Structure 1
């Protein structure tokens, strides 16, 4: 995981720097500016032509002009992408060369001598015996460092040619303290057993390649901006810190912060391998291992910064030996090191993700979120899972503040900090969440924190239920991480485009009905049964919404199918049926009530100035279904038993399905017979289109989930301590009722059909502005 964070941090910084370096090529700035002026002039002419033809309000004509601008700008990015791709290839090549050359470099620099059975038979025999004790089937090559007096060693080498270096002081320790010698050698063999040698030297190679290919060229070009144009024409006044001190300071500060981030992640990889090797070596050596004594004699860090070096403090290593579950315990800084690179990548690429590559800006930003969202959500899921595993192994109920709750603001804060930390953001002032408004930024950040908290609570609940099962499913962790990645990507693809504009998360009521707008309560009902809920419409017309909500309840149920998972599904389904039944009754009553309390002219007149009574009635029935979904979700989450987040979504899905049936099979016919027409229609059971059914289902579910969030958060604060204790393991049950299995299959089929039916509307919203 840490190695993945390192790669993400390197790519985040490298993309920023390499795009900037490309502009220093001869003639590149002039070509870029000329193309930009040409495209701006063509765009202005196209807009003026639309205004002259009075077609500026035609969405198709406006999209055509914008598409022409994107096509005009596309060649400017093609050169940048080609240069950046070549530079990244150089970075990867330098990393590969550094990794492949590390055995040669270590042997040559330290003047190592090969140990063989011919020269030192007893020593090689002892080492081979320790190798078998460590569980290695293949013996490494043994080397001695004759000029190193320290009592240590080092594992290195390429696949198939592993090596272990023994210092000269360690060989003396074999005579004076054989137990300590055995502990040190087993520690080095544990590196081979843990398979961390490749990752260790890849980490070191990535760091040096990053400095040489990314950091050094940017610093040099900052001091000599015209190096690639006029290498000998440097003057002190031409240096960027002198010519533009504020911009240079921002760039240097951003580059320094990101370089420090890469350095700290690199050191964390190296530290973590040491603690894991200590734990394995102590376990192999047995209860009488001398490793704790060896670790206790190690020198302590001379400064507080020593704890961030390449080796952990002796105190931390001793704790890992005594409690093997400690290396599993995640730390908040891991979330920081995940969020910062993702935020930097987002800020650096958000301007390029749209207009420059020929995409509608909203689509480009959404596709970018589909890359960073799974990264963040997957690492969050892995971190929360590790926290649950560590608690289970240690036999403790968990932290006073669960990681999924305390880690959410840390992850979101680091992600947003990464967006602000980017030099592209600092120098341009663009790409900021909230569109530059502090209030909008705060709303966007709070909503993202809430979403991360809910996803983390789902992972924690699922992990604890799975770990408490009689038999832990083999693919439980990949399934949970993959599910969280899918959900995180789908949610961030909606959140990120909305966060880039100041009105992205505005909440407003619907239009005033006409006629009937003068009736106060009727106008209020019309306004708040068709509200504008920020990006809710983008969740509705989205093919990822229903699959994401479905896997959140289906994956835990299927993982625990032999440990009561479907019994939990059945209980949640009953609650959902009750909520849907209440919505069905309300849907039948509302048209009758409307006929009794509203005048006939209000109910029977169609108007263009505002929503008609039929539209208001339909919106009211949908709103009742959404309230039913919200209530059943809150009831299940705040109840008792395992898998409450997953069960709540299942109950909401069942309530949505029943409410959808009530909308078309109950409310529609009753409305037709009683409220709208002067005379009842001879046929009040028309067959609706699949697209209309799918959109109605999405509206009920999305609005219901949005309404459930404040209910759950308000009631969950006093019940937070009870949350962990109530997640008892499912009751073992080898056979599940056939009706429950059939109901689950039906729900999955319905979700698949509704997802398929929403595809045309989703294409109109997301893809038509780009592809027509």
Structure 2
């Protein structure tokens, strides 16, 4: 039987490996963690804690509710002032100097590693054992085959019995160390000897040397200078914290921090192993390309014994921690490098978790120094999304490229995205960002959004890659790879921005309706909606989620590029030949455009139905403002989104491939056509009796007025159409899997026409949609720059009136009052008592003089200080106990009036009035004594 000819080996260099991006992600994670841990350590060593300020504000930590930190804290500004006073961050240069020290230590260790390795192995120069220069000549031939510009330095470790070699140093000055056993192998297996040397030269050619030893140096510095000191301090803190009265409320955060350290160690080590393991396989493939004998990797020829499922799972888990793959895996990669293009679950999970940890820790550092403004927040979101896109996006493009070029089934990417999203959600659970006092977030269901966003992200990247591989005619796919990754990065940046600004607070159980309320009031005026406060409350709750999405500056551009970038694929002449038979060719665009036309007609009918329904409840002309107009706009927006979602669902259910891309394009095109009809119907409002909505008489409304009326809901419509399209595509795909006509028979793949006429038609249709999408996005964004309220954290908004505190236990009340006294109240009391003593000393001096003449230079300073003290007391937090607060407020009022009278009397040089004012200050002192006794009673009463 004639054996089938072997298929040509797939070139793994068709798409970059992406290991450099994974290395950057690893370094960014270590730097962010070092900065966050340093701040925590410095604050811990200075015994400064912000919890006392929250306790002083009346926050009940014993309730175990995260939302209580915000709901029972009506004085955020006073709390922040307390935090700035008792727990100020270290000077910024301390943190900068520490990070610089870590970088310098890494560089020093990196430079010292080659000398240390050489000294540890007691290596000798190659000339010491190669007296006839045969090895040097053979090495020179291998260097030429590897196309290296110059030969590396070669040393020998005679004591090493293994038959391997190692390269160390850096890319420009590498050193190859040959083990003694390898020199012995040269005589018995010269081809194996050459294979080992070619493998090490491949590391040099691929630029692996520097990145490998920088990774090793960075990990060791991070372990020695950051992780171990922090762990030692935290264990001491943990042991002492068990005896703390607030241990029950502090336990979740303490345990999470311990889990965070464990996760960080595992995360960094696994990411490091993954990078190094991938580079080993790439070096093997490069050596094989240069003619290395395959048996050079045959360390053992015995087949692995049969193992059970549990043992195989254990072996796979152990393999994740190895920096070098097993020999059987390396040999398999030489014939089929599929493992290099398979997207494994663990790296995706690690990428998601690392992005969350980087984002949360950098946010904490920036917020500590009050640097977390909108632009820095957006920059952080883009950076985190860029790292994730670089790792996950490149991996998915590689998988799709390998599947298409090797005629295999293209993966959907959804499973990869689920692992990515699970990593992002898991990262949140080990940080104190979405959960503080509790074990789980107040709204844990929001973490599911992270998982779904990860799935949608990977699904879109996979389909975009599949689409462009069927149309691109260039010699390299790097241009379209870059375009696809940039679009995906922008989409993920919009999500990270929304999540870090709003989603985090929603997860904590904090109602975030301030942005929606402000947007409504700015658009419709304070008076129109203020007349209906109950209605305003209902609207703000309903619109809070929607407006919070559109309020992010990156949202609308992200939506635009997510369907414009794939749409551009239809504007070039598609590739033909080896890609098309496996379904990589472009599907026909006319199906999408036809669906958009029918969907647009459906939008027109839906808008007409909305107008007809509102016409039956049309109020008098004077009342067709405010809520009525808002109802009109909301109903129109909802109708357009629903029709677009139905259009996307039908198209995705009928499409055989690229369902998500086609659903996005069809849904957005449907909305554009629907908006055109809406403008026509709104402009002729009043001309058709059943459709009269706002106007009563027929008159043509200028486009400017119509645009002004609907620009507020245009952004919401576009954004939620994109979300609905993703959901519809998922539903259509599920329906397609359940119902497959002609199951078991291959269905023909329809492709876009390649003729000149078909190309012109496609370019015209795609160009019109692209221009419309970009134009609307630009116009709405320009308008939003002046009208969009700045998204801000709920904790920075002072309510109009303090909320009524919830009842707390006697023990909790004692803790709160004690914290109030310890974190500022006692200092105010001591200041007043010191001023009283100064006034008493001045009066005694006047008595010694035998008259009523008082030295104003002795009286004026304490009176002025008491006046300032009362101002500081009014800015400080109220006493958390009602009776003590009443006494304290009486004292502050009396002291304020008496101190001001004292200063005024001094200015008038009225001695009697000065004495009267001093008497008033003394009465305030008596009230302070009463208030202090009450505070002490409350504290002692709580045990």
The TM-score range, normalised by the shorter chain, is 0.7 to 0.9
Q: Secondary structure at the match of 1:756?
A: helix
Find the partner of 1:429 among 437, 443, 455. Answer: 437
Find the partner of 2:760 among 712, 733, 736. Answer: 736
What is the CA distance between 1:184 and its match in structure 2? 1.0
Q: Secondary structure at the match of 1:143?
A: strand
Corresponding residue number in structure 1 for 2:720: 703
**Structure-1 separation of matches of 2:448 and 2:239:** 42
Find the partner of 1:105 among 116, 123, 144. Answer: 116
Q: Secondary structure at the match of 1:537?
A: helix
Q: Does 1:626 align with 2:629?
A: no
Corresponding residue number in structure 1 for 2:835: none
User: Are 1:569 and 1:650, in contact at CA under 8 Å, matched by a contact in 2?
Assistant: no
Q: How many residues align?
A: 705
Q: Does 1:475 align with 2:479?
A: yes
1:422-441 per-residue CA deviation (whole Å, 9 max, x = no partner) reads: 3x4699437x88xx32xx31
**Structure-1 separation of matches of 2:357 and 2:734:** 33
**Structure-1 separation of matches of 2:43 and 2:617:** 70
**Structure-1 separation of matches of 2:668 and 2:435:** 46
Q: Does 1:317 align with 2:320?
A: no
- Structure 2 gap segments, 5+ residues each: 1-18, 60-73, 306-310, 521-535, 575-584, 799-943
User: Are 2:571 and 2:766, in contact at CA under 8 Å, matched by a contact in 1?
Assistant: no
User: Are 1:465 and 1:730, in contact at CA under 8 Å, matched by a contact in 2?
Assistant: no
Structural mapping, 1:18-97, within 5 Å: 18-25=38-45, 28-30=46-48, 37=53, 66=77, 69=80, 73=84, 79=90, 81-97=92-108
| Worse-superposed segment, 380-389 or 546-555 | 380-389
Find the partner of 1:464 among 463, 466, 480. Answer: 466
User: Are 1:22 and 1:84, in contact at CA under 8 Å, matched by a contact in 2?
Assistant: no
1:591-630 per-residue CA deviation (whole Å, 9 max, x = no partner) reads: 34654xx266x4656289x933x54344333322222322
Corresponding residue number in structure 2 for 1:419: 428
Corresponding residue number in structure 2 for 1:751: 777
User: Are 2:648 and 2:666, in contact at CA under 8 Å, matched by a contact in 1?
Assistant: yes
**Structure-2 separation of matches of 1:17 and 1:726:** 58
Q: Does 1:128 align with 2:136?
A: no
Structural mapping, 1:27-426, within 5 Å: 28-30=46-48, 37=53, 66=77, 69=80, 73=84, 79=90, 81-116=92-127, 119-222=131-234, 240=240, 251-285=257-291, 288-294=293-299, 296=301, 304=315, 306-307=318-319, 308-348=321-361, 354=367, 357=370, 369-398=381-410, 402=412, 404-422=413-431, 424=432
What is the CA distance between 1:257 and its match in structure 2? 3.2
What is the CA distance between 1:741 and its match in structure 2? 5.9
Taking structure 2 as the reference length, the TM-score comes to: 0.66
**Structure-1 separation of matches of 2:541 and 2:720:** 10
What is the CA distance between 1:486 and its match in structure 2? 0.8
What is the CA distance between 1:185 and its match in structure 2? 0.9
What is the CA distance between 1:548 and its match in structure 2? 0.8
What is the CA distance between 1:210 and its match in structure 2? 1.0
Q: Secondary structure at the match of 2:478?
A: coil
1:487-531 per-residue CA deviation (whole Å, 9 max, x = no partner) reads: 001023223422432567999xx99xxxxxxxxxxxxxx999999
Describe the shift of the 1:355–1:660 C-alpha distance in structure 2 as closer, same or farther (beyond 3 A).
farther
What is the CA distance between 1:67 and its match in structure 2? 10
**Structure-1 separation of matches of 2:555 and 2:81:** 29
Corresponding residue number in structure 2 for 1:235: none
What is the CA distance between 1:214 and its match in structure 2? 0.8
Q: Does 1:760 align with 2:778?
A: no
**Structure-1 separation of matches of 2:376 and 2:177:** 51
Q: Does 1:611 align with 2:627?
A: yes
What is the CA distance between 1:469 and its match in structure 2? 3.7
**Structure-2 separation of matches of 1:728 and 1:162:** 54
1:387-426 per-residue CA deviation (whole Å, 9 max, x = no partner) reads: 2133234432145xx4x2212332222222222223x469
Describe the shift of the 1:125–1:731 C-alpha distance in structure 2 as closer, same or farther (beyond 3 A).
farther
1:364-397 per-residue CA deviation (whole Å, 9 max, x = no partner) reads: 8777544434433443322322221332344321
Q: Secondary structure at the match of 1:471?
A: coil
Corresponding residue number in structure 2 for 1:654: 669
**Structure-2 separation of matches of 1:750 and 1:567:** 27
Q: Does 1:640 align with 2:655?
A: yes
Describe the shift of the 1:684–1:6 C-alpha distance in structure 2 as closer, same or farther (beyond 3 A).
closer
**Structure-2 separation of matches of 1:633 and 1:70:** 52
Q: Does 1:11 align with 2:17?
A: no
What is the CA distance between 1:152 and its match in structure 2? 0.8
| Worse-superposed segment, 715-724 or 101-110 | 715-724
**Structure-2 separation of matches of 1:682 and 1:671:** 7
Find the partner of 2:546 among 524, 536, 539. Answer: 536
- Structure 1 gap segments, 5+ residues each: 44-61, 226-237, 512-525
RMSD over aligned Cα, in angstroms? Answer: 4.5
Taking structure 1 as the reference length, the TM-score comes to: 0.79
| Worse-superposed segment, 464-473 or 329-338 | 464-473
Structural mapping, 1:714-733, within 5 Å: 714-720=731-737, 732=754
Greater RCO, CA 8 A, separation 6+ = 2
Corresponding residue number in structure 2 for 1:514: none
Corresponding residue number in structure 2 for 1:694: 711
Q: Secondary structure at the match of 1:475?
A: helix
Describe the shift of the 1:563–1:556 C-alpha distance in structure 2 as closer, same or farther (beyond 3 A).
farther
| Worse-superposed segment, 309-318 or 557-566 | 557-566
Q: Secondary structure at the match of 2:409?
A: coil
User: Are 1:143 and 1:165, in contact at CA under 8 Å, matched by a contact in 2?
Assistant: yes
User: Are 1:377 and 1:489, in contact at CA under 8 Å, matched by a contact in 2?
Assistant: no
Q: Does 1:546 align with 2:556?
A: yes
**Structure-2 separation of matches of 1:113 and 1:729:** 65
Structural mapping, 1:469-548, within 5 Å: 469=471, 471-472=473-474, 473-496=477-500, 497-501=502-506, 532=542, 535-548=545-558
What is the CA distance between 1:337 and its match in structure 2? 1.3
What is the CA distance between 1:299 and its match in structure 2? 11
User: Are 1:634 and 1:712, in contact at CA under 8 Å, matched by a contact in 2?
Assistant: yes
**Structure-1 separation of matches of 2:92 and 2:753:** 56
User: Are 1:103 and 1:156, in contact at CA under 8 Å, matched by a contact in 2?
Assistant: yes
What is the CA distance between 1:211 and its match in structure 2? 0.9
User: Are 1:134 and 1:186, in contact at CA under 8 Å, matched by a contact in 2?
Assistant: yes
User: Are 2:467 and 2:569, in contact at CA under 8 Å, matched by a contact in 1?
Assistant: no
Describe the shift of the 1:566–1:332 C-alpha distance in structure 2 as closer, same or farther (beyond 3 A).
closer
Describe the shift of the 1:532–1:380 C-alpha distance in structure 2 as closer, same or farther (beyond 3 A).
farther
Find the partner of 1:445 among 444, 447, 454. Answer: 447
**Structure-1 separation of matches of 2:291 and 2:79:** 70
Corresponding residue number in structure 1 for 2:874: none
Q: Secondary structure at the match of 2:177?
A: strand
What is the CA distance between 1:678 and its match in structure 2? 8.3
**Structure-2 separation of matches of 1:678 and 1:299:** 82
Describe the shift of the 1:678–1:5 C-alpha distance in structure 2 as closer, same or farther (beyond 3 A).
closer
User: Are 1:19 and 1:80, in contact at CA under 8 Å, matched by a contact in 2?
Assistant: no
What is the CA distance between 1:569 and its match in structure 2? 5.3
